[in-house]
Structure 1
Amino acid sequence: MAHKEPPSPLLLVRGNNRRVAILVISILSLLAMFFLTFSPHLAIRHCGHGEQQRSMATETMSFSSGNTNDGGVSRRQARFTDLNDLTATSQAARNEEHVLILTPLKNAEAYLPRYFEMVNRLQYPHHLISLGFLVSDTTDRTVQLLQDRADELLNRDPPDDDSSSNNTRYHSVSIFEKDFDFELPEDRRHEFEMQPLRRSFMARARNYLLSAALKDEHAWVLWLDVDVIDYPASILTDLQSIDVDVVVPNCLRQTDENESMGYDKNNWMETQQSLDMQKKLDPDYVLLEGYFEFLTGRYLMVDMPTHLGKLDKVPLDGVGATFTLVKAKVHREGANFPPFAFQHQVETEGFAKMAKAMGFGVYGLPSYLIYHIMNS
């Protein structure tokens, strides 16, 4: 007798149940195809709980930015960065910590040659230095000169013996342009009445530059004015050795008679007189140093003794930015340059007040002297 095939499951279904059975079988087929196709990508190796965690962490940390080609399909991958390992220490060069030098500019064509001459003298590994510039409301050749010099700094041939020369390539150079349509005659830029508005625009420029240039490898941020014309080649390592959150040297200027006089009067500490005076002020009133129109009674660093130890530090409540070294974590945690009145200060002095309010230490070195160009 011929062998009969067993009836199909579909033939055993009667009436409306047949439609239901077809739907169920279709869904099961699709699920089977899905797991057969994607199971290699979803599979996790069999291992103990601790081993599985380490394996997954290693795979996550290996992610990087960019595109890869997998079976002809372009894929983007995640980028993992562990900021826990990013520290700023007193042995920055030995630990290969990156420094970001930031300089806002406006019509700076005349100052750039000396600026780059001094930066090139820095006794800090140049491959650990990044330069960032923000050019605003400029009418001269500042941008073109920066582009020309950047090409040289990034592509120059390394010396035959890197150990005996510091003329190596820089890590990066970034040039940004942002106009604020703020015009102020040069002969009025230091007038008392102009300062709150002028400093507010300067704060905005610094914040743009900081947010655009700060990258995850930077451990230190150095704010350097373009018209600072003389400082020791060892200044970066000297200031890093102090190992504080914010530190500034004492910026003076030399007269035509070769005499020194104070320049950066934004480096100061509060006194009881200045604190008592502030209790009577409107919260939006901005205090300014170095002007006879309104004396604050603060103790300016340019008036402190300069014959003590070069690296002896004093606590400060306000700083300028002629040469200000900041641990990058201070900026990352939110201390920037307020363009509004913050504890009666704006811009760099407002930054110092904000950093101190957040618990960071701000210090100055009265006997560590640098020099600014002689101007009004």
Structure 2
Amino acid sequence: MLGLSTEKYASVRGNKRLTVILIGIITFILVSVLTFSRATFGLSSCGRTIRTFNEAVAFSTSSSPQQQQHTTFINLNGIEATAEGKEKQEHVLILTPLKNASPYLARYFELIDRMTYPKHLISIAFLVSDTTDDTVELLKEQANVFLNRRDPEQRYHHVAIYEKDFNFELPEDKRHTFELQPLRRSYMARSRNYLLTAALREEHAWVLWLDVDLVEYPTTILEDLMSVNVDVVVPNCLRETEDNSFWGYDKNNWQETEQSLAMQKDLDPEYVLLEGYYEFLTNRALMVDMPTHLGQLNKVPLDGVGATFTLVKAVVHREGANFPPYVFQHQVETEGFAKMAKAMGFGVYGLPGYLIYHVMNQ
């Protein structure tokens, strides 16, 4: 009797253990099915379907806030613009605002491509505004060429095309009318500021403002202008006339004189001064009238600059000097930029003997 009871007790205990194991297995299966069915029927927090175990693991990992957060550290102390930009591998950002520019783009890209500065250190960015021609399409085609050449040494670092319309329309024959210049230049300033803030990256040591309609400049111009080692520097921009003579084009490169400063003392603070117009003579010294035989790299201090070919150390822009669309010391846009840079303590210079040439237009 005792042996029989012991046998029955052992059998019952074994059955209980088996029952507990079976209940555990069934519970695990049910929990797993419920977990994955929530994802399958769109009950997960992001509403997407999870189809595999690996995907479920990846989903739970990527959903973790701790995993998504990260920090970017960039040491701006190491970004310098020096006289040896080419040797020190300093990056240059070329900036060009455009409107209906397709007739000039072929020569524009040809001149850039001839420059001897290393192409992998050059980025180019455009802002296209209120355009009705095929400027954007031509830019995209050329960007594809510049970025995908077989020889890596011939590829440019980066090309960006931005589009921002200001809905500002001005008939071509009114483009240089004296009375409309403050308004026109104000829109140009806004365009430049959009382009600058969109395109400037941490690797850029230099910024070059380049007109689309130049027809000639030296292939070594970037190295030459860098060698002067100043904060802002401009060459002397002329234009060739039909009788093969040369006239000053960029009259926005100038020095204040005693006469011009005296005249400004009694001027309304909101009055915008303009160069090259007979309606109001400023008595300033224009760089296009200065001697050109004293050497290519002979520099003179300037108080105003244009932007046909203006090389700027990127730190000047980073510290806040931009193109005022409002009146700043009687100037707007590029000349206002020069005034602002000087007010901040930066040096602005021109090279009367370093000649570049602009297309013949009005």
TM-score normalised by length of structure 1? 0.79
1:258-282 per-position Cα deviation (integer Å, ceiling 9, x unaligned) = 1110000000000000000000101
Letter of the 2:61 partner, please give it: G
Taking every aligned residue pair, what percent have the same amino acid on both sides?
70
Alignment-derived partner of residue 312 in structure 1: 298
Give the CA deviation at 1:304.
0.3
2:123 paired with 1:130: yes
Letter of the 2:304 partner, please give it: G
Aligned to 1:225, which of 178, 187, 211?
A: 211
CA distance in 1, matches of 2:98, 2:60: 49
1:97-138 per-position Cα deviation (integer Å, ceiling 9, x unaligned) = 000000000000000000000000011000000000000000
Instruction: Report how many residues are paired.
Output: 301
Aligned to 1:72, which of 52, 58, 61?
A: 61
Give the CA deviation at 1:96.
0.5
2:276 paired with 1:290: yes
CA distance in 2, matches of 1:369, 1:336: 26
1:53-107 per-position Cα deviation (integer Å, ceiling 9, x unaligned) = xxxxxxxxxxxxxxxx898335342111000000000000111100000000000
CA distance in 2, matches of 1:216, 1:362: 23
1:200-253 per-position Cα deviation (integer Å, ceiling 9, x unaligned) = 000000000000000000000000000011000000000000000000000000
Aligned to 1:346, which of 332, 338, 352?
A: 332
CA distance in 1, matches of 2:73, 2:179: 49
Aligned to 1:112, which of 105, 110, 133?
A: 105
CA distance in 1, matches of 2:215, 2:341: 28
2:110 paired with 1:121: no
Letter of the 2:95 partner, please give it: L
1:172-213 per-position Cα deviation (integer Å, ceiling 9, x unaligned) = 000000000000000110111110000000000000000000
CA distance in 2, matches of 1:208, 1:254: 32
CA distance in 1, matches of 2:247, 2:338: 24
The structure in which a higher percent of residues are helix is 2
Q: How do residues 192-203 of structure 1 correspond to structure 2 at under 5 angstroms?
A: 192-203=178-189
CA distance in 2, matches of 1:77, 1:119: 38
Alignment-derived partner of residue 243 in structure 1: 229
Letter of the 1:114 partner, please give it: R
Alignment-derived partner of residue 150 in structure 2: 157
Alignment-derived partner of residue 197 in structure 2: 211
CA distance in 2, matches of 1:208, 1:246: 20
CA distance in 2, matches of 1:226, 1:157: 27
Alignment-derived partner of residue 46 in structure 1: none
Alignment-derived partner of residue 337 in structure 1: 323
Alignment-derived partner of residue 250 in structure 2: 264
Give the CA deviation at 1:257.
1.4
Aligned to 2:264, which of 274, 278, 281?
A: 278
1:236 is paired with a residue whose SS is: helix
1:119-161 per-position Cα deviation (integer Å, ceiling 9, x unaligned) = 00011000000000000000000001001110110011117xx
Aligned to 2:133, which of 122, 135, 140?
A: 140
Letter of the 1:358 partner, please give it: M
Alignment-derived partner of residue 255 in structure 1: 241
Q: Alignment RMSD, CA only?
A: 1.2
CA distance in 1, matches of 2:59, 2:281: 69
CA distance in 1, matches of 2:135, 2:72: 35
Q: Could you list the runs of 5+ residues in structure 1 that have no partner in the other structure?
A: 1-68, 163-167
CA distance in 2, matches of 1:132, 1:274: 36
Q: How do residues 84-95 of structure 1 correspond to structure 2 at under 5 angstroms?
A: 84-95=77-88
Larger radius of gyration: 2
